[in-house]
Chain A
Amino acid sequence: MKWRRRVAVIGTGQTVHARKRDDVSQQEMVREAARRALADAEMTARDIDAVVIANMELFEGRALPELWCAEGAAGAGKPVLKIATGGTSGTSGAIAGALQVASGMFDTVLVVGFEKQSEGQTTAGMALTDPMWDRHVASAAIGNFALSISQYMAARGVTEEQAARVAVKARRNAARNPYAHLQQPGLTVEQVLASSVLAWPVHMLEMCPTSDGACALVYAAEDVARRKCATPAWVRAVATRHDQPYIGDLDMRLLTMRTLRSAAREAYAQAGITEPLKQLDVAEIYEPVSYAELAWYEALGFCPEGEAGRLIEDGVTAMDGELPVNPSGGVLSTNPIGASGVIRTAEAALQIHGKGDTRQVDGASLALVTGYGVYAWSDVLILSSDPG
């Protein structure tokens, strides 16, 4: 990676996430996360040069929400812009903020992602796809995943039980994260499989929740980062891939997940990673449904094709495994959409900062972040304690 200058995450903060945060307005929710990130970076609003907001406004039934909410993110009087790319909004916002600092335009950028889904109707919003070809079959996240999952299961021999284990892992991890939405420490594989089928083979308890929440992170250029932060989380790689807009054009989506595969390969090359499972210390990946995590293991090169089920069965990605995946509980436990990618990035930075508390992975110094959105869009970031 040859950027003009180095950039690091030096502070993170998030709200408590819940189905309904009716104790705060959208602006107040943004402020709650921003205030914590600034405090973590030992900064005040005055220290921030620019703000990036990540949000999918139609999920709240709003337009240009940054105009109202940016004040909650120290944005009044400052450069503010909003990134909105579906589910990848948060990771795309995180990438945008890093590039803005790398450009030299700003020394510090505050990125805040938020979603207050309790004030909107997300599935209705998601169904607002192409009015001529797609809308009459639009089924939002659950239905379109189900189509691809059954094909994935058949081709790779993944079982319902293996997928359920992903959900159990996520919720057990979430139980050690005081900010996570779903707190289900005692969840069992049997309970997941006994929960209602949303669209076969997806069960209620292995799908991500609908959450309200916000998450913020502070980026700084190298000189500021070294001055303000003991263990800056340096941005070592970013990569984005978008894909076809029609689900019918995305043949074998989960089987190939070519966007994630390509973005990961590029990011690994930027960061000098050749054996991701061995070299990475922790991963925060965007898994909206249990099966997606298994498919992403393969696309991310954690295992050969067809062995993702074994990875989860053997506990390789558990908290005490070789590569803990989603110590935070992941999207399966918390999904305020525009915030979800910022949460992944902030949680990865938190691990490098050594501030993970009960969800800390010992000695984490190289962390992978992914974002997923629309039908098959992918973002990848790699953070490291080593500036490179």
Chain B
Amino acid sequence: MTGAVIIGVGQTAYEPAKPSQAIPEMVLEAVERALGDARIGMEAIDAVVTASVDLWDGRTASNIQVTEVVGAVMKPEARVAGDGLLAAIHAAMTVGAGAYGTVLVAAHCKMSEGQHWTCSSWAVDPICQQPLGLDFLSAAGLQARAYEQRHGVGASHWARVVEKNARSARANPLAPRGPDRSAADVLASSVIADPLRALDAAPATDGACVLILASPERARSLGSDTPVALLGAGYACEAHYLGDRDLTATDALGAASGRAYTMAGIDSPLRDIQVVECSEAFSYQELLWSEGLGLCPPGEGARLLEEGVTQPGGRLPVNPSGGMLGGSPFVVAGLARLAEAVLQVRGDAAGRQVGGVRRAIAHGTHGPAGQHHSVVVVGA
């Protein structure tokens, strides 16, 4: 147990662009939804943890712009510059420490106002790698190729992840409206980083996600009737240089999930978990992350999909929300996964609800080829 529960969830719709909203307005929408969901006012919030990355916002200290809308004026705020799930884990630690009774966690990104792959090239070592043109896209191409060569899993396998998640996203009113995508559509789309094709990559979108964490005592005193416990959490960062890593081994994900499972008392995720929301910035990653999360042995992520285990209605659905392929923005993605996991545990996921969810996994990642991973287990 981390000693924190989640008492409110709010997400904007995720859209290719939100030209009518500035970032603070977009974040305010998610904040108001989360406060409404928790049925509390801003005065009940003790502290704030935000997640944003300056280069993607084109601003220095990009949390400055949301100070007012997240209610951080004359309050404590910490900004985690990375994936939003990491912000939630840090917030849970501050609650677990006894420092705060309630913490609002907010993540935002407007990918429409930047150039995602160009920005990502500034996140790789500037001496040896950036001059070669490495960015998160080319790193993913290398990882997909390594995965293909190691396990004989290829484009036709991961194209079916796109098919699954695009279909699931249509049941998610927050996901951008898009057409069904068949595996054949994916395989017919243009190559962007061999062996990856255009439809293998998650679309660029705008949006914000907000969660409200509380100590169990504070949740009770606030009258929360649907607290969802943060049963376990872990995160880890791998070596930076791709050559220093086995790109098919997902060591950091193993460390992060191992820690989260130990805390949550999970022996076998396939048996003990009813739904997984993972951050697949690329289709192949859902297969690879399934392995890293211990849902199956290495190399068997595709089998899990083919046997229908991870399909909606399967034994362990993965990304019933549609996942990142279904439209969650960079930075927001991990926190949106947690929001979805919470809704699933509460039985509030409407058309994307999985039956009988007692415990769910949320996963976030950032960095080239999944260098950094975070995992949270939530439960009733």
Chain A residues in the interface with B (C-beta under 8 A): 2-4, 25, 27, 51, 56-59, 61-68, 70-71, 75-86, 92, 95-96, 99-100, 102-105, 125-126, 128-132, 238-245, 258-259, 262, 373-374
| B320: Cβ under 8 A from any A Cβ | no
Give, as a whole number of angstroms, the nearest-CB distance from A232 to chain B. Answer: 18
Q: What 0/1 readout, one digit per residue, does chain B (38-66) give for beta carbons within 8 Å of chain A?
A: 00000000010000011110111101110
Contact between chains at A85 and B78 (CB < 8 Å): yes
CA distance in complex: A102, B97 (Å): 5
| B300: Cβ under 8 A from any A Cβ | no
CA distance in complex: A40, B2 (Å): 31
| B240: Cβ under 8 A from any A Cβ | yes
CA distance in complex: A126, B64 (Å): 12
CA distance in complex: A77, B252 (Å): 6
Give every chain A residue within 8 A of B251 (Cβ-Cβ).
Answer: 77
Residue in B2, B55, B234 whose Cβ sees the most chain A Cβ within 10 Å? B55
Chain A to chain B contacts (Cβ below 8 Å), 17 pairs = A56-B54, A57-B81, A58-B54, A67-B367, A67-B368, A68-B123, A78-B236, A80-B237, A83-B80, A84-B54, A85-B63, A100-B93, A102-B99, A105-B96, A105-B233, A240-B78, A241-B76
Contact between chains at A67 and B75 (CB < 8 Å): no
Give every chain B residue within 8 A of A25 (Cβ-Cβ).
Answer: 127
Contact between chains at A83 and B81 (CB < 8 Å): yes
Contact between chains at B123 and A62 (CB < 8 Å): yes
Partner of A374, one of B55, B64, B93: B64
Partner of A68, one of B81, B125, B256: B125
Chain B residues in the interface with A (C-beta under 8 A): 2-3, 22, 47, 53-56, 58-61, 63-65, 67-68, 72-82, 86, 89-90, 92-94, 96-99, 119-120, 122-127, 233-240, 251-252, 255-256, 259, 366-368, 371-372
Contact between chains at A80 and B372 (CB < 8 Å): yes
Contact between chains at A242 and B54 (CB < 8 Å): no
When A67-B240, A67-B371 are in contact, do A242 and B77 touch as well, CB less than 8 Å?
yes
Closest to A105 in B: B93
When A4-B97, A374-B64 are in contact, do A242 and B74 touch as well, CB less than 8 Å?
yes
Contact between chains at A3 and B97 (CB < 8 Å): yes
Contact between chains at A245 and B64 (CB < 8 Å): yes
Partner of A79, one of B47, B64, B81, B237: B237
Give every chain A residue within 8 A of B55 (Cβ-Cβ).
Answer: 57-58, 62-63
Give, as a whole number of angstroms, the nearest-CB distance from B315 to chain A. Answer: 31
Contact between chains at B2 and A105 (CB < 8 Å): yes
Closest to A51 in B: B237
Partner of A75, one of B77, B89, B237, B256: B237
Contact between chains at B67 and A244 (CB < 8 Å): yes
Contact between chains at B238 and A77 (CB < 8 Å): yes
Give every chain B residue within 8 A of A92 (Cβ-Cβ).
Answer: 78-79
CA distance in complex: A64, B235 (Å): 16
CA distance in complex: A132, B119 (Å): 22
7 closest Cβ contacts across the A-B interface? A240-B76, A102-B97, A103-B96, A103-B93, A80-B237, A86-B61, A63-B55
Give, as a whole number of angstroms, the nearest-CB distance from A37 to chain B. Answer: 19
Give every chain A residue within 8 A of B126 (Cβ-Cβ).
Answer: 62, 68
Closest to B256 in A: A79
CA distance in complex: A126, B61 (Å): 9
Give every chain A residue within 8 A of B94 (Cβ-Cβ).
Answer: 99, 103
Contact between chains at A241 and B67 (CB < 8 Å): no
Give every chain A residue within 8 A of B239 (Cβ-Cβ).
Answer: 71, 76-77
Give, as a whole number of angstroms, the nearest-CB distance from B135 to chain A. Answer: 10
Give every chain B residue within 8 A of A59 (Cβ-Cβ).
Answer: 60
When A77-B238, A77-B252 are in contact, do A128 and B59 touch as well, CB less than 8 Å?
yes
CA distance in complex: A2, B95 (Å): 12
Give, as a whole number of angstroms, the nearest-CB distance from A358 to chain B. Answer: 35
Contact between chains at A262 and B237 (CB < 8 Å): no
Give, as a whole number of angstroms, the nearest-CB distance from B17 to chain A. Answer: 16
Closest to B96 in A: A103
Give every chain B residue within 8 A of A243 (Cβ-Cβ).
Answer: 67, 73-74
Give, as a whole number of angstroms, the nearest-CB distance from A45 to chain B. Answer: 13
When A77-B236, A262-B74 are in contact, do A84 and B67 touch as well, CB less than 8 Å?
no
Contact between chains at A61 and B122 (CB < 8 Å): yes
Give, as a whole number of angstroms, the nearest-CB distance from B45 to chain A. Answer: 13
Give every chain A residue within 8 A of B99 (Cβ-Cβ).
Answer: 3, 99, 102, 238
Contact between chains at B372 and A84 (CB < 8 Å): no
Contact between chains at B60 and A95 (CB < 8 Å): no
Give, as a whole number of angstroms, the nearest-CB distance from A125 to chain B. Answer: 5
CA distance in complex: A262, B74 (Å): 8
CA distance in complex: A258, B74 (Å): 8
Contact between chains at B90 and A129 (CB < 8 Å): no
Give every chain A residue within 8 A of B2 (Cβ-Cβ).
Answer: 103, 105
When A67-B371, A262-B74 are in contact, do A81 and B67 touch as well, CB less than 8 Å?
no
Give, as a whole number of angstroms, the nearest-CB distance from B118 to chain A. Answer: 10
Give every chain A residue within 8 A of B61 (Cβ-Cβ).
Answer: 56, 84-86, 373-374
Closest to A266 in B: B76
CA distance in complex: A369, B308 (Å): 57
Give every chain B residue within 8 A of A66 (Cβ-Cβ).
Answer: 82, 237
Contact between chains at A2 and B64 (CB < 8 Å): no
Give every chain A residue within 8 A of B63 (Cβ-Cβ).
Answer: 84-85
Give every chain B residue within 8 A of A242 (Cβ-Cβ).
Answer: 67, 72-77
List 16 other contacts, CB 8 Å, given A62-B126, A85-B78, A99-B93. A25-B127, A64-B82, A64-B367, A66-B82, A68-B125, A85-B79, A96-B78, A102-B99, A103-B3, A103-B94, A128-B60, A130-B59, A240-B47, A241-B74, A242-B75, A374-B64
Partner of A78, one of B59, B76, B119, B237: B237
Give, as a whole number of angstroms, the nearest-CB distance from B205 to chain A. Answer: 19
CA distance in complex: A71, B58 (Å): 27
CA distance in complex: A51, B99 (Å): 20
CA distance in complex: A330, B79 (Å): 24
Contact between chains at B98 and A102 (CB < 8 Å): yes
Residue in A81, A130, A244, A245 whose Cβ sees the most chain B Cβ within 10 Å? A81
Contact between chains at A63 and B120 (CB < 8 Å): yes
